[in-house]
Structure 1
Amino acid sequence: MDAERRLRAEVYHSIQDLERVRPEWESLLAQFPSSTTFSTLTWLIPWWRAFGGDDRLQVIGFRDRAGSLAGLAPLSLTSSCDLWFQLRWLRFMGDGSQDSDNLDFPVRRGFEALLSLSLLEWLEKHRQDWDICRLSRLPAASLVGNRLLADIRALGWSVFISRHPCSAIELPESWELYLKRLSSKERGKIGLRTRRLEKRYRVEIRKCSEAGELDAALEALFELHRKHWQLRGLPGTLHVPARRQFYHELALQLAGAALELWTLKLEGRIVATQFGFRHRDVVFSLQEGFDPEFSSDSVGYVLRAQVLKRLIAAGVRRYDFLGGTDESKTRWGAVVGSYLNFDFARPFSRGSLPLRLKYKGAECKAWLRNHLPETAWSTLKALRQG
Structure 2
Amino acid sequence: MTDVIELNEIEALNEFQSDWTRLLSITPGGTFFRSQEWLQVYWKHFAADQKLRVLIVRENGEVTGIVPLCWKKIKSKFGPCRILTFPFDDWGSFYGPVSADQESTWRSALEYLQHSNRDWDLIDLRCVETDGFDGGATERAFQAENMEFEKFLWEQAIYVDLSQTWEEYLSARPRKARQTYTRAERNLQAQGEIEHLRYRPRGEAFGESDPRWDLYEMCEQIAAKSWQGSSTTGTTITHATVNQFFRDSYESAIRAGAFDLNLIFLSGQPAAFSYNFAQNGLINGLRMGYNPEVSDQGLGRLLVGRILHDSMDRGDLLLDVGTGALDAKKYWYTSVENSYRYVYYSPASAIANVLRLSHQVASWFRDRFSSNDTDKIQKVPGQKLQVTQH
Relative to the length of structure 1, the TM-score reads: 0.82
* 1:379 aligned residue: none
Matches within 5 A, 1:28-67: 28-65=23-60, 67=61
* 1:128 aligned residue: 118
3-state DSSP class of the match of 1:62? strand
CA contact (8 A) 1:138 1:340 kept: yes
CA contact (8 A) 2:197 2:263 kept: yes
- The separation in 2 between residues aligned to 1:172 and 1:148, in whole angstroms, is 27
3-state DSSP class of the match of 2:350? coil
CA contact (8 A) 2:160 2:318 kept: yes
> One-letter code of the match for 1:92?
F
- Measured against aligned partners, the alpha-carbon deviations of 1:1-51 in whole angstroms (never above 9, x if no partner) come to xxxx5x211111122111121111111222324322221112221112122
- Measured against aligned partners, the alpha-carbon deviations of 1:118-141 in whole angstroms (never above 9, x if no partner) come to 222212112531111111112224
Query: Does residue 1:176 correspond to 2:167, yes or no?
Result: yes
* 2:235 aligned residue: 237
- The separation in 2 between residues aligned to 1:45 and 1:258, in whole angstroms, is 15
Query: Which one of the candidate residues 172, 181, 185 is aligned to 2:176?
Result: 185
Structure 2, gaps ≥5 residues long: 201-209, 372-390
3-state DSSP class of the match of 2:25? helix
Describe the shift of the 1:272–1:70 C-alpha distance in structure 2 as closer, same or farther (beyond 3 A).
Answer: same
Please report the RMSD computed on the Cα atoms of aligned residues, expressed in angstroms. Answer: 2.8
Cα offset, 1:52, TM superposition: 1.8
- Segments of 4+ moved more than 6 angstroms: 142-145
Please state which structure has a larger fraction of its residues in helix: 1
> One-letter code of the match for 1:245?
Q
* 2:224 aligned residue: 223
CA contact (8 A) 1:165 1:325 kept: no
- The separation in 2 between residues aligned to 1:86 and 1:129, in whole angstroms, is 13
3-state DSSP class of the match of 1:168? strand
- The separation in 1 between residues aligned to 2:317 and 2:142, in whole angstroms, is 35
What number of residue pairs does the alignment pair up? Answer: 358
3-state DSSP class of the match of 2:303? helix
Query: Which one of the candidate residues 190, 197, 208 is aligned to 1:206?
Result: 197
Describe the shift of the 1:166–1:76 C-alpha distance in structure 2 as closer, same or farther (beyond 3 A).
Answer: same
CA contact (8 A) 1:228 1:291 kept: no
- Identity, % of aligned positions: 21
- The separation in 2 between residues aligned to 1:211 and 1:52, in whole angstroms, is 25
Cα offset, 1:261, TM superposition: 1.4
* 2:72 aligned residue: 78
3-state DSSP class of the match of 1:102? coil
Describe the shift of the 1:265–1:236 C-alpha distance in structure 2 as closer, same or farther (beyond 3 A).
Answer: farther
3-state DSSP class of the match of 2:347? coil
Matches within 5 A, 1:271-310: 271-293=271-293, 296-310=296-310
CA contact (8 A) 1:225 1:288 kept: no
Cα offset, 1:363, TM superposition: 3.7
- The separation in 2 between residues aligned to 1:113 and 1:317, in whole angstroms, is 24
- The separation in 2 between residues aligned to 1:149 and 1:127, in whole angstroms, is 23
Describe the shift of the 1:370–1:338 C-alpha distance in structure 2 as closer, same or farther (beyond 3 A).
Answer: closer
CA contact (8 A) 1:161 1:342 kept: yes
Describe the shift of the 1:326–1:236 C-alpha distance in structure 2 as closer, same or farther (beyond 3 A).
Answer: farther
Describe the shift of the 1:99–1:45 C-alpha distance in structure 2 as closer, same or farther (beyond 3 A).
Answer: same
> One-letter code of the match for 1:17?
A
Describe the shift of the 1:208–1:140 C-alpha distance in structure 2 as closer, same or farther (beyond 3 A).
Answer: same
* 1:90 aligned residue: 84
- The separation in 1 between residues aligned to 2:355 and 2:167, in whole angstroms, is 51
CA contact (8 A) 2:269 2:294 kept: no
- The separation in 2 between residues aligned to 1:26 and 1:92, in whole angstroms, is 19
* 2:313 aligned residue: 313
> One-letter code of the match for 2:182?
G
* 1:377 aligned residue: none
> One-letter code of the match for 1:11?
E
Relative to the length of structure 2, the TM-score reads: 0.82
CA contact (8 A) 1:85 1:354 kept: no
> One-letter code of the match for 1:254?
A
CA contact (8 A) 2:222 2:291 kept: no
> One-letter code of the match for 1:291?
N
- The separation in 1 between residues aligned to 2:74 and 2:170, in whole angstroms, is 48
* 1:253 aligned residue: 252
